[in-house]
Amino acid sequence: MVLLSPLDLALAALLIFINAGLSLLLRLGIGRQLLIAATRTVVQLSLLGFVLKFIFNLVHPGLIALMALFMVFTAGWEVMGRQKYRFTGPWSFGIGASAMCISSFIITLFALMAIIRNDPWYEPQYAIPLLGMILGNTMNGIAIGLDRLTQTLWEKKAIIETRLMLGQTFSESVADIRRDSIRSGLIPIINAMSVAGIVSLPGMMTGQILAGTPPMEAVKYQILIMFLIAGGAGFGTIFAVNAGAGRLSDKRHRLRLDRLRRTGRGG
Amino acid sequence: MFRAENLRIHHIGPLSFSVKEGECAGISGPSGTGKTILLRALADMEPFSGRLWLEELSHDQIPAPQWRRRVALLPAESQWWFHTVAAHFPGGFPEKAAQVLGLGPEVAAWEIHRLSSGEKQRLSLLRILENRPRVLLLDEPTANLDPKSARAAETLILDFQKKEQAALLWISHDPEQLNRVCHTLYHLENGYLSLKGKVLH
């Protein structure tokens, strides 16, 4: 394996700086976010590198659960941060985090207990990376689905209210918006599965092969991961979009956009 | 038949009033005084405190979608979401009523983006009447119409009212129109609704 020196990474970092410069030049307003995200990557991954060996030796179910909870909460926080319109009060974090719990948590448990069946099943060397990969991807689906839902409801307020005034239930009047939001959350993983192996070589599989794993074994793991991610993104997005739509209505079938507030962030 | 009791919405109220079967109550008042919000609350589209009564039932005894079929609000600005006119009339296009408004049966097949704002306004009136509401809340129903179409719309609304013995609440900035169509006149200003008088026909 070719070892990378700090200088090699510095060369790669040049790309980030050039892009940030372009953003400044073209007034894209994304440069700051790009730099912050890149810095976070370096800091977070380095930290993980330091502690991973420690975590992998830590075959204690309570501590692993704590680590997993921390990961899920961070993901919920991240989902909230990406919304242009946020739910007021604890709902913004609550909907994102509970959707992550329901999708990623349960699916990881399912994969560990029913498919991988290691002894013990919570062996951190499998549990933590698996949860991490599923979280990272379902998080995208949930964030996109919710963002689409709240934005469309905001834009189509007048139409939804007209449908309500004609006697439709809240569910009927937002049915197509809800469907579109769920679809848009699932598109990234569908795209990823469609081009896997032809256009994109998935990172985990490539890494395993680089590290010397027989390609077919790596492929099997990659297929497993893809299916788990698709399942997680599906459950998570459906749950989050439904919970979000529910929060934006009340028992008198009104559209309650007063339960959203606009933030400066998001697309 | 339709009653509001100690109604409060934001800065408006508390106000109480009632409208009888076959009666039309006009509401006037300066812009921004909350006439639209008042009608929205009556259709249960806006959170409010107080109580609404339709015949012997209060609003919380009827599921909201049903309430809005019986106490129907026609907003000032009409909205359309399907491609064609006909798709917005699930029970079929009401050709006879459309004729009264000067719209032929061919309009049903038209695409929404071809319609003028006046045509949209008239079609939205037809659409809400299809629900045969007991109470019809009208927010400047003829604001986008030329005088001839406005008169036709008035005729259609009043015919419906007579036939169904519906109660009407009619917002308008045109005092002549209110005198023409209403029995009772109210004025909303500074959050208070005052009775301006009765009209003798």
Alpha-carbon distance of B128 to B69, in angstroms, equals 9
**A-chain residue closest to B71, CA distance:** A165
Instruction: Report which of A156, A158, A163, A204 is spatially closest to residue A177, judged by C-alpha positions.
Output: A156
Residue A235 and residue A113 share a domain:
yes
When pLDDT is averaged across residues B166-175 and rounded to a whole number, the result is: 94
Whether residue A257 lies within 8 A of chain B, CB to CB, comes out as no
Residue A44 and residue A176 share a domain:
no
- pLDDT the model gives residue B32: 87
- The answer to whether B183 touches B27, Cβ cutoff 8 Å, is no
- The answer to whether A96 touches A240, Cβ cutoff 8 Å, is yes
- pLDDT the model gives residue B164: 94
Place of tokens 């991240």: A78
Residue A122 and residue A48 share a domain:
no
Whether residue B77 lies within 8 A of chain A, CB to CB, comes out as yes
- pLDDT the model gives residue A63: 86
Residue A159 and residue A112 share a domain:
yes
Best mutation site among B45, B59, B126 for testing chain A: the one with the most A CBs within 10 Å? B45
Q: Could you read off the pLDDT of B37-85 as tens digits, one per residue?
A: 999 999 999 999 999 999 989 999 999 999 999 999 999 999 999 999 9
Residue A65 and residue A42 share a domain:
no
Enter the pTM of the model: 0.88
Residue A213 and residue A112 share a domain:
yes
- pLDDT the model gives residue A206: 87
- Please report whether residue A158 resides in a domain: yes
Q: Provide, rounded to the nearest whole percent, the portion of chain A with pLDDT above 70.
A: 98
Question: What is the ipTM metric for this complex?
Answer: 0.94
Residue A160 and residue A192 share a domain:
yes
Q: Could you read off the pLDDT of A78-91 as tens digits, one per residue?
A: 888 888 899 999 99
Residue A212 and residue A92 share a domain:
yes
Q: Are A165 and B43 within 8 A, CB to CB?
A: yes
Instruction: Report which of A189, A172, A155 is spatially closest to residue A260, judged by C-alpha positions.
Output: A155
* pLDDT at B200 exceeding the cut of 80: no
Q: Could you read off the pLDDT of A180-217 as tens digits, one per residue?
A: 999 999 999 999 999 988 888 888 888 888 889 899 99
- Please report whether residue A240 resides in a domain: yes
- The verdict on whether omega for the bond into residue B14 sits within 30 degrees of 0, i.e. cis, is yes
Phi, then psi, of B189 in degrees rounded to 5: -155, 140
Instruction: Look up the domain containing A45 and give its range.
Output: 1-58
* pLDDT at B106 exceeding the cut of 50: yes
C-alpha distances in Å from residue A149, one per residue of A156, A186, B115, B166: 10, 13, 29, 38
CA angle A212, A217, A221 (to 5 degrees): 110
**B-chain residue closest to A162, CA distance:** B79
When pLDDT is averaged across residues B123-150 and rounded to a whole number, the result is: 94
Chain A segment 149-188 residues within 8 A of B by beta carbon are 158-159, 161-169
Q: Are B72 and A158 within 8 A, CB to CB?
A: no
Residue A36 and residue A92 share a domain:
no
Which residues does chain A have within 8 Å of residue B43's beta carbon, measured at their own beta carbons?
165
Residue A86 and residue A11 share a domain:
no
Alpha-carbon distance of A24 to A5, in angstroms, equals 30
- Total tally of structural domains belonging to chain A: 2
Residue A79 and residue A9 share a domain:
no
Average pLDDT taken over every residue of chain A = 91
Residue A54 and residue A139 share a domain:
no
Q: Are B131 and A165 within 8 A, CB to CB?
A: no
- Please report whether residue A252 resides in a domain: yes
- Please report whether residue A145 resides in a domain: yes
Average pLDDT taken over every residue of chain B = 93
Which residues does chain B have within 8 Å of residue A252's beta carbon, measured at their own beta carbons?
44, 47, 64
Domain end marker among A10, A27, A58: A58
Q: Could you read off the pLDDT of B177-186 as tens digits, one per residue?
A: 999 999 999 9
- Please report whether residue A147 resides in a domain: yes
- Please report whether residue A267 resides in a domain: no
Domain end marker among A15, A31, A58: A58
**A-chain residue closest to B79, CA distance:** A159
- pLDDT the model gives residue B201: 62
Whether residue B35 lies within 8 A of chain A, CB to CB, comes out as no
- pLDDT the model gives residue A264: 66
The low-confidence residues of chain A, meaning pLDDT below 70, are: 264-267
